[in-house]
Amino acid sequence: MRISGGSAKGRKVILKKAFAQKSDADELRPTSGKVREAIFNILGQRITGSRFLDLFAGTGAVGLEALSRGASGAVFVDISSHRVKFIRDLAARFGLGERTVIVQSDALSFLRRNEMPFDIIFVDPPYASGDLAAVLPLLDGDDILNPDGTIIVEHAKKTVMPERLEHAVLKKCYKYGDTMLSLYRKEPS
């Protein structure tokens, strides 16, 4: 896996080294390069200067790509200590460590105590976990998402997404094989 754009373009994310002996490797389903590239094509210039949240961060590749492409900062949230260490090491190796905050936490706990809103939130829970239904209602509050903020949810093709959240509206869905990206935008209050 490689970072596909920006200041860290071409840098490798070597998963085998990080998770070859770890029990949580079975839970990991990294966002493919094709889907990552699509995410940043969809976001376009919105990424520049944005505050980015990578929720259920896994390898951290999406958040690292956001930093590489000009996000002012990224917060990575993952429950696994192995993955948190892996993301911290990658961010330092890519020279992006100063713009990262890495939090070992479950997503619900993080969202309930967060006090700094984001411009872009990327959500990619394990497809079969049921976590998506639990976190969706918490994503578009003023303490989580800035006005005109964007939420991108990566999910299985068979998952039916709501047309709207409390303050955000589903704008478009994109299909990549069995993977879907659903794009929400927060409406002005």
Q: Note whether residue 5 is domain-resident.
A: no
How many residues are given for the chain? 189
Does residue 143 form part of some domain? yes
Q: Tell me what percent of the residues of the chain surpass a pLDDT of 90.
A: 60
167 pLDDT band, cuts 50/70/90, is: very high
Whether 18 shows a pLDDT value over 70: the answer reads: no
CATH number, domain containing residue 62: 3.40.50.150
Share of the chain above pLDDT 70, in %: 83
Instruction: Output the pLDDT for position 142.
Output: 81
Domain assignment of residue 46, yes or no: yes
Q: Which pTM value belongs to this model?
A: 0.89
Task: Give me the sign of the Cα torsion angle 156, 158, 163, 166.
Answer: negative
Whether residue 126 is contained in a domain is answered as yes
User: Which residues are registered as beta bridge partners of 76?
Assistant: 54, 102
DSSP states along the chain: -B--SSTTTT-B--HHHHHTT-GGGGG--PPPHHHHHHHHHHHGGGGTT-EEEEET-TT-HHHHHHHHTT-SEEEEEES-HHHHHHHHHHHHHTT-GGGEEEEES-HHHHHHH--S-EEEEEE---TTSSHHHHHGGGTTSTTTEEEEEEEEEEEETTPPPPSB-SSEEEEEEEEETTEEEEEEEEPP-
Q: Which of 100, 38, 42, 116 is nearest to 68 (CA)?
A: 100
* pLDDT per residue as tens digits for the range 130-148: 788 899 999 988 889 999 9
Which of 159, 154, 142 shows the shortest CA–CA distance to 184? 154
Q: What is the pLDDT of residues 22-71, one digit of tens each?
A: 555 555 666 766 887 889 999 999 999 999 999 999 889 899 999 999 99
Residue 113 pLDDT exceeds 50: yes
Domain membership of residue 7 (yes or no) is: no
Domains of the chain: total: 1
Structural domain includes residue 6: no
| Residue 22 counted as domain residue | yes
Give the domain range for residue 110: 15-186
Q: Please report whether residue 4 resides in a domain.
A: no
Mean residue pLDDT of the chain comes to 86
The per-residue b/e assignment along 136-172, b for 16 or more CB within 10 angstroms, e otherwise, is: bebbbbeebbbeebbbbbbbeeeeeeeeebebbebee
> Rounded distance, CA 37 to CA 55, Å?
18
pLDDT in tens, 171-183: 999 999 999 999 9
Given this model, what pLDDT does residue 21 score?
45
For residues 89-114, average pLDDT: 93
